[in-house]
Structure 1
Amino acid sequence: MARKIGSRYTAHQILGRGSAGTVWLGEGPEGPVAIKLLREDLASDQELVGRFVQERTALLGLEHPNVVSVRDLVVDGNDLALVMDLVRGTDLRTRLDREKRLAPEAAVAIVADVADGLAAAHAAGVVHRDVKPENVLLDMQGPLGPGGSHPALLTDFGVAKLIDSPRRTRATKIIGTPDYLAPEIVEGLPPRASVDIYALATVLYELLAGFTPFGGGHPGAVLRRHVTETVVPLPGIPDELWQLIVQCLAKAPASRLRASELGARLRELQPMLAGMPPLDVDEPDTEPEEEPREATPDEPVSSARVRRGAVPLVPGAKPADSNRDTHTSMRVPAPDELAGGARGTARAPRAAGAPRPGSARHRAVTRRRRLVLGGAAVALAAAVGVGTWLATSGDDAGTPRDSHHSSPASP
């Protein structure tokens, strides 16, 4: 059902929903547009509306082929909306969900495009703060690049900053998506351009491996890993590419490359990646899911099968199994919490096809092993018992044991 957005735009149909708002296919004076309509509770926040207007000039002035341009910002009654260019295609998360992981050449080409867009934004003084596959759009009508990749454009500039108002998130809160948060954000430092580089390197790792380097399990555990753990190497990629990823995932922001440097270096590596197939690795083991259990008589059946960590992280949002929701608000971990969890928690990738601990397949394999080992133990005990009986009975009867076992070999 169509609805008016301000005096110049009409929203026709919903394209997607996120925790910050809803994206509509719309129409404006110059043709089709995408309209991101923020949640009503955000639109009613007068402080946020003021910040929205202050950001108008910076966002409208951000123009680059790898950035989804913001055409207008609308404040009209209860409506707070960003009007953006319409990209005919899909987001990177959808492609990743479909293909699991990308060939290195295609992954590097996509990330190089995003790095170029970030370079333009950073030069204009704009930090994205929420770089992740959901915010990377693939233009299916654009020319194919290396590895058959479509042009990549970064969207949702300014949304994280708008929502991260001082009243909404004090020094004890973090705004962001756990899997992609730079360590300095977890430690409560203000976001600089380097947080986007860290997040983009995380995206590159995910495109290659099919999982993020520090994700998995409860969001608190994810935050701790960002601060305390070292990224686990990925087998099968050139060392030059791996060293680039490691540098951009450095804990110290000053050690990371700038966006323009990252884009240039990635394009230099593309020729050596031509024809390489996707990596053959499985996601590392994380905290296993709780075992399903029977409900007690006074307990609803549905509550007996709740996944650990499936709690709403955004005020007003429904519980979800994913911790990749946009603009998640989290408590800043205390220093003692960050200091305690690194030992023994490194997430090394499993061999392809290996079962995950805690999964049904892993339990079945474990049971089979126990049965095999138990059978072997019984057989061994029986053999030992028979041997002992023979030795005892032979001695008791006064008959010699098999002489060729007891006698030394003749010369």
Structure 2
Amino acid sequence: MVRKIGSRYTANQILGRGSAGTVWLGEGPEGPVAVKLLREDLASDQELVGRFVQERTALLGLDHPHVVSVRDLVVDGNDLALVMDLVRGTDLRTRLDRERRLAPEAAVAIAADVADGLAAAHAAGVVHRDVKPENVLLDMQGPLGPGGSHPALLTDFGVAKLIDSPRRTRATKIIGTPDYLAPEIIEGLPPRAAVDIYALATVLYELLAGFTPFGGGHPGAVLRRHVTETVVPLPGIPEELWQLLVQCLAKAPASRLRASELAGRLREQLPLLAGMPPLDVDEPDGEEADGGYEEAPAEPEAPRERVRRGAVPLVPGAAPDSNRDTHTSMRVPGPDELAGGARGTARAPRAAGAPRPGSARHRASARRRRITLGAAAVAVVAAVGVGTWFAVAGDDAGAAPRDSETSAPAAP
């Protein structure tokens, strides 16, 4: 299906669908382009259209090798579109789905590229607000970098800000992807550059481990973990790299590195990571014991498909958000909810094959151990009791004659 986008562009083929709209392969006056056509409900929002036009100068001014450049913004009737450079490659999520986790050298090289792009954006006063693997494109036609990584470019600048209009979300909603949301956004503070650093550190953790540090289960549990839990160490990576992750995942925004600092520090790690294989850690189990959800009895575990978590309302019984699987619009949790903690939902990495503490498999294993120990204890008690009975009985049997001898009257 071919459609006109404004007076200068033609959209020829759908390349993909996201939470905010559809990406098309298009053609413009200067050749092939990618056209992100926003959803019709967004295009019909006049306030959002006004914000879209206001962002035009900032978005068109972003020019960096690790940023997908926005060439044009089109407002035409019901069409609201970003016209961008066409990157010949795939997104980072597709690579993760295929490989599950990357070798540390390649993961760090990709994160350093994205940090460079963020540094340019932040210097121009633009905050991305939705850094995640879906928004990182890998240029398959670019030169290979450390660890065989393709150049990484960050895309979708401005989309989260456009969706998050004050009338729609002020003080009541969270716009973003739960696994990558910085704690200050969850607590209702305005997003600054530091939220992108937190999200990028989460992406790097995911590239190394195969799962995000605070994800899993109901989005409400994910939000609480971001605010209340500390990140659990990843076994097998250099201490210097781990400390970088910890600093950039700090709860306090001021404690995190700036994007330019992070890019430099990551590249300093590359020589230490050369030739290191992907980490051998298991993904935490998906079962989460979190307030109000009844746990099913433990069953023998069967191989499970890796299911992408969808957007689920934070308030049970509320209607699901229309943003589908990448953006989630949720009620901002109150201080009492955030203070409640996740109660055993920490996603601690562990050696391959070992169950996660608190998981169904771990609980079943613990129950088996308790039963075994209980049976052993009963056996010990029984053995001790029988031994004691024999000892007492033996003493009684040997003591009877002595008693008769001492109590018998003397012979005349």
What is the TM-score of this pair, normalised by structure 2?
0.83
Does the C-alpha gap of structure 1 residues 193 and 37 become closer, same or farther in structure 2, counting only changes over 3 Å?
same
Which residue is 2:200 aligned to?
Answer: 200
2:350 partner letter? R
Which residue is 2:270 aligned to?
Answer: 270
Does the C-alpha gap of structure 1 residues 309 and 336 become closer, same or farther in structure 2, counting only changes over 3 Å?
farther
**Deviation digits for residues 134-162 of structure 1 (CA, Å, limit 9, x no counterpart):** 11011111111001111000000000011
Q: Is 1:108 matched up with 2:108?
A: yes
Once residues 356 and 346 of structure 2 are traced to their aligned partners in structure 1, the CA distance between those partners, rounded to angstroms, is: 15
Which residue is 1:11 aligned to?
Answer: 11
Which residue is 1:222 aligned to?
Answer: 222
**Deviation digits for residues 110-156 of structure 1 (CA, Å, limit 9, x no counterpart):** 00000111111111111101001111011111111001111000000
Does the C-alpha gap of structure 1 residues 281 and 32 become closer, same or farther in structure 2, counting only changes over 3 Å?
same
- The answer to whether the 8 Å contact 1:73/1:83 transfers is yes
The alpha carbon displacement at 1:309 in A equals: 9.1
Once residues 308 and 236 of structure 1 are traced to their aligned partners in structure 2, the CA distance between those partners, rounded to angstroms, is: 27
Once residues 52 and 129 of structure 2 are traced to their aligned partners in structure 1, the CA distance between those partners, rounded to angstroms, is: 16
Which residue is 1:143 aligned to?
Answer: 143
Which residue is 1:26 aligned to?
Answer: 26
2:169 partner letter? T
Once residues 353 and 362 of structure 1 are traced to their aligned partners in structure 2, the CA distance between those partners, rounded to angstroms, is: 11
Kindly report which structure 2 residues correspond to 1:251-400, keeping only aligned pairs within 5 A, or say none: 251-284=251-284, 287-288=288-289, 311-312=312-313, 317=321, 325-341=325-341, 346-356=346-356, 361-362=361-362, 365=365, 369=369, 372-373=372-373, 376=376, 379-380=379-380, 383-384=383-384, 387=387, 390-391=390-391, 394-395=394-395, 398=398
Does the C-alpha gap of structure 1 residues 7 and 230 become closer, same or farther in structure 2, counting only changes over 3 Å?
same
The alpha carbon displacement at 1:109 in A equals: 0.2
Once residues 220 and 250 of structure 2 are traced to their aligned partners in structure 1, the CA distance between those partners, rounded to angstroms, is: 20
Once residues 84 and 322 of structure 2 are traced to their aligned partners in structure 1, the CA distance between those partners, rounded to angstroms, is: 27
- The answer to whether the 8 Å contact 2:208/2:279 transfers is yes
The alpha carbon displacement at 1:339 in A equals: 2.5
- The answer to whether the 8 Å contact 2:218/2:312 transfers is no
Q: Secondary structure at the residue paired with 1:105?
A: helix
Report % sequence identity. 89
Q: Secondary structure at the residue paired with 1:338?
A: helix
Which residue is 1:405 aligned to?
Answer: none
**Deviation digits for residues 262-287 of structure 1 (CA, Å, limit 9, x no counterpart):** 11111111111111111222234561
Which residue is 2:92 aligned to?
Answer: 92
Q: Secondary structure at the residue paired with 1:167?
A: helix
**Deviation digits for residues 171-214 of structure 1 (CA, Å, limit 9, x no counterpart):** 12221111111122112111111111111111111111222222
- The answer to whether the 8 Å contact 1:312/1:318 transfers is no
Once residues 147 and 6 of structure 2 are traced to their aligned partners in structure 1, the CA distance between those partners, rounded to angstroms, is: 42
- The answer to whether the 8 Å contact 2:205/2:245 transfers is yes
Does the C-alpha gap of structure 1 residues 247 and 358 become closer, same or farther in structure 2, counting only changes over 3 Å?
closer
- The structure whose Rg is larger is 2
The alpha carbon displacement at 1:326 in A equals: 3.0
Once residues 291 and 97 of structure 1 are traced to their aligned partners in structure 2, the CA distance between those partners, rounded to angstroms, is: 29
Once residues 380 and 151 of structure 2 are traced to their aligned partners in structure 1, the CA distance between those partners, rounded to angstroms, is: 64
Q: Secondary structure at the residue paired with 1:4?
A: strand
- The answer to whether the 8 Å contact 2:66/2:113 transfers is yes
Does the C-alpha gap of structure 1 residues 291 and 227 become closer, same or farther in structure 2, counting only changes over 3 Å?
closer
Once residues 82 and 159 of structure 1 are traced to their aligned partners in structure 2, the CA distance between those partners, rounded to angstroms, is: 9
The alpha carbon displacement at 1:317 in A equals: 4.7
Once residues 203 and 169 of structure 1 are traced to their aligned partners in structure 2, the CA distance between those partners, rounded to angstroms, is: 25
1:75 partner letter? V
Which residue is 1:250 aligned to?
Answer: 250
Larger CA deviation: 268-277 vs 311-320: 311-320
Kindly report which structure 2 residues correspond to 1:36-47, keeping only aligned pairs within 5 A, or say none: 36-47=36-47
Give ranges in structure 1 of 5+ residues lacking alignment: 294-306, 401-411
2:160 partner letter? A
Which residue is 1:68 aligned to?
Answer: 68
Larger CA deviation: 22-31 vs 265-274: 22-31
Q: Secondary structure at the residue paired with 1:25?
A: strand
**Deviation digits for residues 79-136 of structure 1 (CA, Å, limit 9, x no counterpart):** 1111111111111111112222211111110000001111111111111010011110
The alpha carbon displacement at 1:348 in A equals: 2.5
Kindly report which structure 2 residues correspond to 1:156-175, keeping only aligned pairs within 5 A, or say none: 156-175=156-175
Once residues 363 and 328 of structure 1 are traced to their aligned partners in structure 2, the CA distance between those partners, rounded to angstroms, is: 31
Q: Is 1:155 matched up with 2:141?
A: no
CA RMSD of aligned residues (A): 3.0
Q: Secondary structure at the residue paired with 2:138?
A: strand
- The answer to whether the 8 Å contact 1:290/1:308 transfers is no
Once residues 45 and 398 of structure 2 are traced to their aligned partners in structure 1, the CA distance between those partners, rounded to angstroms, is: 101
Larger CA deviation: 73-82 vs 225-234: 225-234
Q: Secondary structure at the residue paired with 1:246?
A: helix
2:257 partner letter? L
2:57 partner letter? T
- The answer to whether the 8 Å contact 1:35/1:84 transfers is yes
